[in-house]
């Protein structure tokens, strides 16, 4: 192949300050995913429950005002967030499994880390890519439902009478997003195959959930919930919305288990994201 | 500008208990510097340490005046790195890959796109820049790796085995590019290779690594020594007598019977002496030519293959 042009020119333009690599990575990651029609379809599908809930709110606040079945409550938002877990699961697998695994497979980490970005920048950028999609199917539609409730009812009474609703939606969404994105990213960093990372994530979520259910049923001990990240999360979300667990001692342990799991994910990422794999 | 591009002071880098670099102290001047050594000598380790990707267990490294342990990002913003192994970001065209790398290096999006076009044309991938990198041949992948290393216009370029896996034509073109970058674009580059002709073609200074230590270093011309004072001969007749005659004259003689003889003739003696000695010994000189010292000789000497 001939060299067409030997004219290399020096660059005289500006450069951004160091430390913004995370934004470049996240921006690229989001746009890259949004170019895929299948993923767009999945995102749209993830909003189907929102449409159903919006119709329910409309009926409850305008058509059949005060009807018990349709009347909005904190429970409406809690169940909405819990139902969105299914879409969180699929979006996490679709958008998150390959985030680090494909970079490891194609030796891209040494390209990234030879640029003026740190490992934290890299991890932060990848984390943000997935987290943004998860926020788009949890916190954002939940808050939009609240806005719709205000618009349909024409007053702020509902929000004023439920002062903890906005912080509860925000906190519950953040826990959901943090758990899914950190777990997926850590698993993605353990493999060079996105399929394997996806299978590991699905395996942990499904298998641990089934095992927890079986063990709790057989032994009657609610502490088994701690072996399932998803059920532990569910317990925390319930508590945030004011639904206490049967055994309050479990709650403290659930918080600790959740924190340990996130710390383990961070530790895994810290150990696995390197430009050079040192085999001593 | 006369400050060395890279200074290493007592640098040791270990992989577990294995020391890949052992107490290396060397300066890389500005210009085109070859980093030579057999496989496993520590060349790639040295480059990765200079990028801050492998922390040394002891010693200090300065790159372009910055201490790599204190300002790794400042160093990486000013250097370009072309890795040895196949490395790309999956699912991207060459253009999107190179412009993405420019943005990672801090260039604004519009400038990153413009630079990506320019650099891809410069490395000879202009026509193929919208093709997915995964469909590229080995040679094209080497070029796109060079493009991503150049796109932010670094002051210093690390090239790790840039001609690895390329066909002869592609190799020549890559070396022409490397030489052009160093000679005409004023960029300092460190070319790591185990291929002596590549380094000899593109560089004017060399650092030879062997078993994690610097075996020799300096300008290639100086390391090769004076040219024209060593002569290669083939003779017909009694070689042993000829060898004795040469040694009796105080000249250095090397060679095996029946093979090419190498004789070192000092500055104050004329090569005519070789014919006189041959006539005196009753042998016929069938071939005589001044020996051109090569980098291979330097390399062999440094690695202890030759006395």
Average the pLDDT over B288-305 and give the result: 73
Q: Which of A5, A112, A278 sits opposite B104 (nearest CB)?
A: A112
Q: Which of A1, A13, A115 sits opposite B101 (nearest CB)?
A: A115
B83 to A15: CB separation less than 8 angstroms, yes or no: no
Average the pLDDT over B2-25 and give the result: 92
Note whether A25 contacts B: Cβ–Cβ < 8 A: yes
Give B222's contacts (C-beta < 8 A, 6+ positions apart): none
Q: What is the DSSP letter of A62?
A: I
For A192-233, the pLDDT digits (tens) are: 999 999 999 999 999 999 999 999 999 988 889 999 999 999
For A26-41, the pLDDT digits (tens) are: 999 999 999 999 999 9
Domains and CATH numbers, chain B: 6-223 (3.40.50.300), 230-291 (3.30.70)
Counting DSSP H helices and E strands in chain A, the numbers are 14, 0
Residues of chain B with pLDDT > 70: what percent?
96
Note whether A35 contacts B: Cβ–Cβ < 8 A: no
Q: Tell me how far apart the alpha carbons of residues B77 and B84 are, in angstroms, rounded to a whole number.
A: 20
Q: Which of B16, B103, B177 sits opposite A3 (nearest CB)?
A: B177
How much is the pTM?
0.86
Q: Tell me how far apart the alpha carbons of residues B118 and B150 are, in angstroms, rounded to a whole number.
A: 10
What are the structural domain ranges in chain A? 21-272
- Complex ipTM, two decimals? 0.88
B119 to A107: CB separation less than 8 angstroms, yes or no: no
Q: Mind telling me how many Å the CA of A148 is from chain B's nearest CA?
A: 37
Give me chain A's average pLDDT, please.
Answer: 90
Chain A residues within 8 A of B88 when measuring between CB atoms: 106-108, 111
Give A27's contacts (C-beta < 8 A, 6+ positions apart): none
């Amino acid at each position: 192949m001939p060299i067409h042009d030997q004219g290399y020119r020096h660059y005289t333009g500006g450069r951004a300050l160091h430390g913004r690599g995370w934004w470049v990575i996240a921006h690229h990651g989001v746009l890259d995913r949004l170019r895929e029609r299948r993923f767009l379809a999945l995102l749209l599908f993830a909003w189907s429950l929102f449409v159903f809930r919006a119709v329910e709110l409309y009926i409850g606040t305008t058509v059949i005002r005060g009807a018990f079945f349709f009347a909005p409550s904190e429970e409406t938002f809690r169940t909405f967030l819990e139902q969105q877990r299914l879409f969180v699961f699929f979006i996490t697998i679709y958008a998150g499994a390959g985030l680090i695994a494909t970079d490891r497979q194609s030796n891209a980490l040494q390209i990234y880390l030879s640029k003026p970005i740190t490992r934290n920048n890299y991890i932060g950028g990848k984390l943000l890519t997935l987290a943004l999609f998860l926020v788009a199917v949890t916190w954002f539609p939940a808050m939009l439902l609240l806005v719709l409730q205000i618009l349909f009812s024409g007053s702020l009474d509902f929000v004023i009478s439920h002062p903890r609703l906005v912080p509860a939606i925000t906190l519950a969404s953040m826990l959901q997003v943090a758990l899914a994105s950190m777990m997926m990213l850590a698993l993605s960093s353990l493999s060079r195959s996105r399929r394997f990372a996806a299978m590991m994530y699905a395996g942990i979520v499904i298998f641990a959930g089934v095992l927890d259910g079986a063990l709790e049923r057989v032994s009657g001990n609610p502490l088994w919930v701690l072996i399932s990240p998803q059920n532990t999360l569910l317990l925390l979300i319930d508590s945030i919305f004011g639904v206490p667990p049967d055994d309050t001692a479990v709650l403290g342990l659930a918080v600790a288990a959740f924190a340990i799991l996130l710390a383990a994910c961070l530790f895994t990422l810290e150990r696995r994201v390197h430009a050079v794999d040192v085999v001593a | 500008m006369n400050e060395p591009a890279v200074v290493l002071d007592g640098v040791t880098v270990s992989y577990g208990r294995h020391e890949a670099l052992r107490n290396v102290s060397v300066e890389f001047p500005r210009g085109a510097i070859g980093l030579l050594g057999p496989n496993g000598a520590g060349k790639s380790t040295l480059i990765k340490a200079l990028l801050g990707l492998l922390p040394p267990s002891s010693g200090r490294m300065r790159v372009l005046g910055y201490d790599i342990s204190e300002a790794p990002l400042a160093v990486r913003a000013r250097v370009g790195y072309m890795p040895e192994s196949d490395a790309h970001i999956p699912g991207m065209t060459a253009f999107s890959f190179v412009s993405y790398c420019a943005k990672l290096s801090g260039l604004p999006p519009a400038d990153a796109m413009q630079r990506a076009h320019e650099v891809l044309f410069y490395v000879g991938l202009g026509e193929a820049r919208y093709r997915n990198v995964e469909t590229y041949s080995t040679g094209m992948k080497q070029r796109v790796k060079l493009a991503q290393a150049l796109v932010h216009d670094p002051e210093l370029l690390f090239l790790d085995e840039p001609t690895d896996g390329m066909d002869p034509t592609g190799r020549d073109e890559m070396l022409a590019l490397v030489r052009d970058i160093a000679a005409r674009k004023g960029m300092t580059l460190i070319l790591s290779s185990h291929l002596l002709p590549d380094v000899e073609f593109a560089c004017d200074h060399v650092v030879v690594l062997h078993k994690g230590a610097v075996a020799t270093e300096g300008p290639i011309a100086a390391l090769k020594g004076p040219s024209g004072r060593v002569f290669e001969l083939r003779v017909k007749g009694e070689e042993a007598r000829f060898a004795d005659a040469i040694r009796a004259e105080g000249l250095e003689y090397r060679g095996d019977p029946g093979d090419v003889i190498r004789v070192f003739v000092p500055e104050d003696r004329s090569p005519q002496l070789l014919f006189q000695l041959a006539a005196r010994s009753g042998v016929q000189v069938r071939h005589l030519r001044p020996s051109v010292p090569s980098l291979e000789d330097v390399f062999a000497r440094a690695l202890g293959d030759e006395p």
